[in-house]
Chain A
Amino acid sequence: MGLSGRLAAYAVSGAHVLVVEVPGWWETRAAVERALTARGWRTALSPADADVIVVCGDPGEQLSAVVDRVWEQLPGPRARATALHTDEVGAALDETALALRDDQHQRRDAGDRAREPAGGADRGDMDHGDMDHGDMEMAPGGIPLASGGEDRDGLEMDVLHVPLGPVLPHWPAGLVLRCSLQGDVVTEAQVEVLGPAAPSPALSAPADERRAARRCDGAARLLAIAGWDDAAAAARRTRDVLLDGGDRDDAARQLDRLASRVTRSLTLRWMLRGLGCVDGAAVAARGLPESARGDVHDRLVAMLRQSRADLRGEATADEDRAAATRAALPTLVRGLDVAAARLIVASFDPDTVGVRREAVRA
């Protein structure tokens, strides 16, 4: 094996994978994450960081378009795979590893691509037709400059329209939060869900453990966004044990340990206290579930507590309030910065399964 071959071998041994989850296939996504850890691969933080895209599920039209756009943004060498069922994950990843090692194929792929970024065309604004206005040609690179607006202190600041899009690390599947940002403060937001082509098939594992695993997953995502990778990894390990049908007692012990770690951490409490407070009246008025009461820290603790309760068999009769939760998001994040907004969305962990088309603005 020559030098370039050896380099390629080392490179592929640490590949970064961008995981795109279609609503309804969360177990496949969990399986992908587990396979990545087993191979020593990692999850990519952004398209620029990724070598591989794995789409978990069967995306609808809009979501497919998004995935294609993201695929365009991957620098080479790159590979792409789709996984519908948990069993297909290993084979899909093996295929991508082979594709990454295949120099011929990658060279051809690189040759086919453009050298310059495609102007303002993929911005979704309708302006790229009328760029020929003589006097006001303020559009470097084809993207019009931001217009101004008043911010929360009464200063005039530029407004950027940024979708917290469907492909973002630790983000609910298929959810799009179209934000108007001033600086990094969200002034307005609109919720949308990009759904699958066809609803996912019903899944097999026993309901209790699956529910507990789902809440563990939600807690893992919130901890990852809060910057505590260690605790997030512990939560993911527990989730994998539960999804695998492993030892319930072992999982319960791990959950208890994680819960005590989370409650004991003063820094975590300092960072999460007072964010996204929802009191009893607001919960009733907006139709949110009871567990959503309090701030982000309370909801994190509630997630872990409910997961533990599911394992003990105390099924909480929590009707599906997903739609109300999604509808409440724009008002909850308004006036806060992106970091707080992301923590709040993660603490609610809205379910996006079973949505056809929906858009709520605030």
Chain B
Amino acid sequence: MPDVAVTTVSGAWALVAALLVGVFAVAAASFDGALAARSAGGGARAGARMPLAETARLMRQRRRTTVAADGPLWRTGGGGLLVVALLMVVVVPLGSWTLADLAVGIVWFNAMDVVVWAVVWLAGWGANSAYSLVGGYRFLAQALAYELPLMFALTAPAVAARSLRVADVVAAQHGLWFAVWMPVAFAVYCLSVVAFSVWGPFAPAAGSDIGGGVLAETSGVDRLLLLAGRYALLAAGAAFAVPLFLGGGAGPLLPAPVWVLVKTLLLLAAFVALRRRLPALRPDRFVEAGWLVLLPAVLLQVLVVSVIVVARS
């Protein structure tokens, strides 16, 4: 299915994309701060200023290190989350503009979310601290549970569009958005975005029961990078859901790029609000559910989608 997807020049436009991710990350942090302040009984407006206060505090805070910490690995883990989030949005089309029109855009996204496995574990290992290491291994346990369902959830739109190219997937949603007739794939995708961002119900890797887990020994700029990376991953995941399940830039009145941003923002708000509703899902209980419930459900979903595609052609 031929589609117009103009590859814009990298360099200048990559900076714009990075800026957009940054803005969304700050918006998510702000929203989370407001919700937290409201649930604690304080004022939502004071809570919404949390990103500013936290950034100022962390920029002013000194960095620290531990005995025999593995410096290069630790700092790679710390800064890696932001880098991965930026690499993820490289394939998200804003209307008809995209930074990289890969023929295998969906696989690129999948590869990037697997790099998050390595990054979070490195952040846990590098600190040479028991709690930090426990956090890193908790993340790997959780990742083993959601990764295979995620891979199949990403396969479903590819099967329906008969292509791994993101622009083709957008074009195939002219009639009906994929989120409507592949709800299981969409739900699993959303769950996986929250999971690889170490957020909300999937935050045991950074949990308060182990003193912040992966965040336990970081301070100053390193901590800021990790925290910002989590929000950036949420934003990137929400952004990628738009072309994949929510019809890309389709919508009345407003131009396509604006619709992409609006849909990303709405999905991101939903992800952030999820933290308030659910307790933490511990990996030792979630692993069984991931393999025995989610994986068969997604496989069935892919089967249904394949049957429909074959029947339609």
Q: Does B74 make an interface contact (CB < 8 A)?
A: no
* List of A residues within 8 angstroms of B3 by Cβ: none
Smallest Cβ-Cβ distance to A241: which chain B residue? B41
Q: Does B62 make an interface contact (CB < 8 A)?
A: yes
Smallest Cβ-Cβ distance to B68: which chain A residue? A141
Which residues of A17-52 have CB atoms within 8 Å of chain B's CB atoms? Answer: 37-38, 40, 45-46, 48-49, 51
A51 touches B61 (CB 8 A): yes
Q: How far is A12 from B58 in the complex, measured between Cα atoms in Å?
A: 11
- The A interface is mostly helix, strand or loop, or mixed, namely helix
A246 to chain B, nearest CB (A): 12
B53 touches A75 (CB 8 A): no
Given contacts A45-B215, A75-B63, A265-B279, contact A338 B42 (CB under 8 A): no
Q: Does A184 make an interface contact (CB < 8 A)?
A: yes
Q: Interface size bucket, B side?
A: 35 or more
User: A49: which of B53, B62, B219 is its contact (CB, 8 Å)?
Assistant: B219
B279 touches A268 (CB 8 A): yes
Given contacts A227-B204, A230-B277, contact A13 B53 (CB under 8 A): yes
* List of B residues within 8 angstroms of A45 by Cβ: 208, 211-212, 215-216
A267 touches B279 (CB 8 A): yes
- The B interface is mostly helix, strand or loop, or mixed, namely helix
The stretch that binds B, out of A162-170, A191-199, A310-318, is A162-170
User: B217: which of A40, A48, A160, A338 is its contact (CB, 8 Å)?
Assistant: A48
Q: Does A110 make an interface contact (CB < 8 A)?
A: yes
Q: Does B180 make an interface contact (CB < 8 A)?
A: no
Which residues of B209-267 have CB atoms within 8 Å of chain A's CB atoms? Answer: 209-212, 215-220, 223
B53 touches A168 (CB 8 A): no
Which residues of B24-54 have CB atoms within 8 Å of chain A's CB atoms? Answer: 36-37, 39-42, 46-47, 49-50, 52-54
Given contacts A10-B52, A75-B64, A228-B278, contact A49 B223 (CB under 8 A): yes
Q: How far is A228 from B219 in the complex, measured between Cα atoms in Å?
A: 24
Smallest Cβ-Cβ distance to A223: which chain B residue? B279
B216 touches A48 (CB 8 A): yes
Given contacts A37-B40, A338-B209, contact A46 B217 (CB under 8 A): yes
Q: Does B110 make an interface contact (CB < 8 A)?
A: no
Q: Does A143 make an interface contact (CB < 8 A)?
A: yes
Smallest Cβ-Cβ distance to A168: which chain B residue? B211
A228 touches B279 (CB 8 A): yes
Q: Does A183 make an interface contact (CB < 8 A)?
A: yes
Q: How far is A73 from B280 in the complex, measured between Cα atoms in Å?
A: 28
Number of interface residues of A (CB under 8 A): 62
Task: Provide the A54-92 mask, 1 if CB < 8 A to any CB of B, else 0.
Answer: 000000000000000000010111000000000000000
Q: How far is A12 from B131 in the complex, measured between Cα atoms in Å?
A: 27
Given contacts A13-B53, A45-B215, A227-B279, contact A184 B42 (CB under 8 A): no
Q: Does B282 make an interface contact (CB < 8 A)?
A: yes
Smallest Cβ-Cβ distance to A14: which chain B residue? B53
Given contacts A40-B37, A141-B68, A181-B130, contact A271 B216 (CB under 8 A): no
Q: Does A215 make an interface contact (CB < 8 A)?
A: no
Q: How far is A242 from B56 in the complex, measured between Cα atoms in Å?
A: 35
* List of B residues within 8 angstroms of A214 by Cβ: none
* List of A residues within 8 angstroms of B59 by Cβ: 7, 11
A229 touches B216 (CB 8 A): no
Smallest Cβ-Cβ distance to A346: which chain B residue? B209
Smallest Cβ-Cβ distance to A273: which chain B residue? B285
* List of B residues within 8 angstroms of A305 by Cβ: none
B208 touches A77 (CB 8 A): no
* List of B residues within 8 angstroms of A342 by Cβ: 209-210
Which residues of A181-235 have CB atoms within 8 Å of chain B's CB atoms? Answer: 181, 183-184, 223-231, 233-234
Q: Does A142 make an interface contact (CB < 8 A)?
A: yes
* List of A residues within 8 angstroms of B50 by Cβ: 14
A234 touches B39 (CB 8 A): yes
Smallest Cβ-Cβ distance to A169: which chain B residue? B208
* List of B residues within 8 angstroms of A8 by Cβ: 56, 60
* List of B residues within 8 angstroms of A14 by Cβ: 49-50, 53-54, 56-57
Q: Does A293 make an interface contact (CB < 8 A)?
A: no
Q: Does B22 make an interface contact (CB < 8 A)?
A: no
Smallest Cβ-Cβ distance to B211: which chain A residue? A46
Q: How far is A160 from B132 in the complex, measured between Cα atoms in Å?
A: 13
Smallest Cβ-Cβ distance to B216: which chain A residue? A46
B68 touches A77 (CB 8 A): no
B214 to chain A, nearest CB (A): 11
Q: Does A280 make an interface contact (CB < 8 A)?
A: no
User: B285: which of A16, A231, A237, A270 is its contact (CB, 8 Å)?
Assistant: A270
A90 to chain B, nearest CB (A): 16
Given contacts A49-B223, A76-B61, A120-B67, contact A226 B212 (CB under 8 A): no
Smallest Cβ-Cβ distance to B36: which chain A residue? A229
4 other contacts beyond A13-B49, A49-B215, A168-B211, with CB at 8 A cut-off? A140-B68, A184-B137, A229-B39, A230-B39
Footprint of B on A, CB under 8 Å? 7-8, 10-16, 37-38, 40, 45-46, 48-49, 51, 73, 75-77, 110, 117-120, 140-143, 160, 162, 168-170, 181, 183-184, 223-231, 233-234, 236-237, 265, 267-268, 270-271, 337-340, 342-343
Q: List 15 A-B contacts (CB under 8 A).
A: A11-B53, A11-B57, A11-B59, A14-B49, A40-B46, A48-B216, A75-B61, A183-B137, A224-B208, A226-B279, A228-B278, A229-B39, A233-B40, A265-B279, A339-B282
